[in-house]
Amino acid sequence: MDMVLRLAGVSHRFGAVEVLRDVDLDLPAGTVTALVGPDGAGKTTLLRVAAGVLTPAAGRVERPGDAGIGYLAGASSVYPDLTVWENLTFFGRLYGMNGRALAAEAGRLLAWAGLEAFRHRPARHLSGGMRQKLALACALIHRPAVALLDEPTTGVDPVARRELWALLDQLAAGGMAVLVATPYMDEAGRCRRVALLHRGRLLAAGSPEELRARVPCRVLLLQAEGRRQELLRLARELPGVQDARPAGEGVRVALPVGAPDPTLPPGVRAVPAEVELEDVYVWLAGELAGKEPAGKEEARA
Ligand SMILES: Nc1ncnc2c1ncn2[C@@H]1O[C@H](COP(=O)(O)OP(=O)(O)O)[C@@H](O)[C@H]1O
Ligand SMILES: [Mg+2]
């Protein structure tokens, strides 16, 4: 797979705060990469560096083919008083497009995003999901090879969220390199590639399967009728438990692969569960901290 954009040893700080540290990340063509991490992890800063709107304190951004970049900043970046069509053509003109070529591309994106029926509607009268689709279309008007999208699905209803992800898959199928920041692990899990960002450091990048295989942990789901709070406390004190967090009516605990099953009090049962991306995140964050379970609070992503 061709690599169209690469961050090499990127570090950045705002004043005394280190926001990115030594981040290496490749973006291959034809792939959606989810950049996952909780609020404050540094996702927006990483995207801004990749987009070239922020110069990092150290490291480089490489674009071997001089790939064009589409950047969608977090909060909806369309103009509320302009119509759908006016927004698209406005962004096109910013990129030096005009005339028939611009109209053709705007028309194509309008159809692609399912916004044809709303062509003349001011953006402020669109639903949140439609506004995000319009913002996405505007960011792509100049046919970039790379799309850098900052939380396009945050605050969007579940149906529109699925539609947005389907649009991103289509972009990748067309050969684009897509990097999409999200605080939601469940959304990330459906991407071909996931990059886990924790306190400005890239914990790992790879397919969800690769990431799950990378951590030497196994997960048990503890259950005890109607005693979840108590269960959580108990779980955190069990020997060998690296992380414990609520899940449905039970509590998930992660243990090192070779560790024996913990001895449980009467009424509590343990069922083996699949390792999830969030378990991987918490585990790797814990390894990074070089001690016990780091980030019980932070890994709420
Ligand atoms: N312009 C800025 N000035 C100072 N601190 C900033 C600035 N932008 C971000 N930060 C800080 O950098 C850290 C990472 O922020 P950000 O990149 O926005 O993370 P995320 O997008 O993952 O929430 C946070 O602690 C944030 O407060
Ligand atoms: Mg952000």
pLDDT value at residue 1: 63
Residues 129 and 12 in one domain: yes
Binned at pLDDT 50, 70 and 90, residue 239 comes out as: confident
Lowest-confidence region among 16-30, 157-171, 281-295: 281-295
Residues 44 and 191 in one domain: yes
Give, to the nearest 10 degrees, the angle between helix 128-139 and helix 99-112. Answer: 140
Q: Is the CB of 43 under 6 A from ligand 1?
A: yes
Residues 129 and 262 in one domain: no
8 Å CB contact between 237 and 265: no
Average pLDDT over residues 194-205: 97
Residues 26 and 115 in one domain: yes
Report the atom number in ligand 1 closest to the C-alpha of 48. 17
Distance of CA 18 from the midpoint of ligand 1 (Å): 9
Q: Is the CB of 156 under 6 A from ligand 1?
A: no
8 Å CB contact between 228 and 249: yes
Coil, strand or helix: which one is 101?
helix
Is it the case that residue 294 has pLDDT exceeding 50?
no
Query: CA 243, CA 147: separation in Å to the nearest integer?
Result: 35
- What residues make up the domain containing 126? 3-209
Ligand nearest, relative to CA of residue 43: 1
End-to-end CA, the chain: 29
The pick from 45, 151, 197 for probing ligand 1's pocket by mutation, whose C-beta has the most ligand atoms within 8 angstroms, reads: 45
Binned at pLDDT 50, 70 and 90, residue 295 comes out as: very low
Is it the case that residue 27 has pLDDT exceeding 50?
yes
Q: Does some domain include residue 74?
A: yes
Q: Does some domain include residue 159?
A: yes
Kindly report, residue by residue over 241-264, the tens digit of the pLDDT.
Answer: 888 899 888 999 999 998 888 888
pLDDT value at residue 221: 94
Report the nearest-CA residue for atom 8 of ligand 1: 45
Residues 59 and 201 in one domain: yes
Report the nearest-CA residue for atom 18 of ligand 1: 44
8 Å CB contact between 134 and 123: yes
pLDDT value at residue 70: 96
Residues 178 and 83 in one domain: yes
Q: Is the CB of 41 under 6 A from ligand 1?
A: yes
Is it the case that residue 65 has pLDDT exceeding 60?
yes
The one-letter code for the residue type at 18 is: E
Q: Does some domain include residue 80?
A: yes
Q: Which of these three, 209, 242, 257, is where a domain ends?
A: 209
Average pLDDT over residues 183-209: 94
Residues 143 and 229 in one domain: no
Report the alpha-carbon angle 41-43-45, nearest 5. 105
Q: Does some domain include residue 295?
A: no
Residues 61 and 161 in one domain: yes
The pick from 10, 11, 18, 19 for probing ligand 1's pocket by mutation, whose C-beta has the most ligand atoms within 8 angstroms, reads: 19
Domain count, the chain: 2
Q: Does some domain include residue 257?
A: yes
Bigger pLDDT: 76 vs 260: 260
Contacts 24+ apart (CB under 8 A), 166-169: 167/112, 167/113, 167/133, 167/136, 168/32, 169/32
Report the atom number in ligand 1 closest to the C-alpha of 41. 22
Query: CA 88, CA 105: separation in Å to the nearest integer?
Result: 9
Q: Which of these three, 209, 225, 251, is where a domain ends?
A: 209
Lowest-confidence region among 15-24, 209-218, 241-250: 241-250
- Sign of the torsion formed by the C-alpha atoms of 231, 233, 239 and 244: positive
Bigger pLDDT: 55 vs 292: 55
Bigger pLDDT: 249 vs 297: 249
Q: Does some domain include residue 92?
A: yes
Q: Does some domain include residue 169?
A: yes
8 Å CB contact between 11 and 59: yes
Mean pLDDT of the chain: 91
Q: Which of these three, 194, 209, 224, is where a domain ends?
A: 209
Q: Which CATH number covers residue 235?
A: 3.30.70
Query: CA 197, CA 155: separation in Å to the nearest integer?
Result: 21
Average pLDDT over residues 183-194: 92
pLDDT value at residue 75: 67
Report the atom number in ligand 1 closest to the C-alpha of 45. 17
Residues 250 and 164 in one domain: no
Query: CA 214, CA 212: separation in Å to the nearest integer?
Result: 5
Report the nearest-CA residue for atom 12 of ligand 1: 19
Residues 66 and 23 in one domain: yes
Q: Which CATH number covers residue 66?
A: 3.40.50.300
Q: Does some domain include residue 299?
A: no
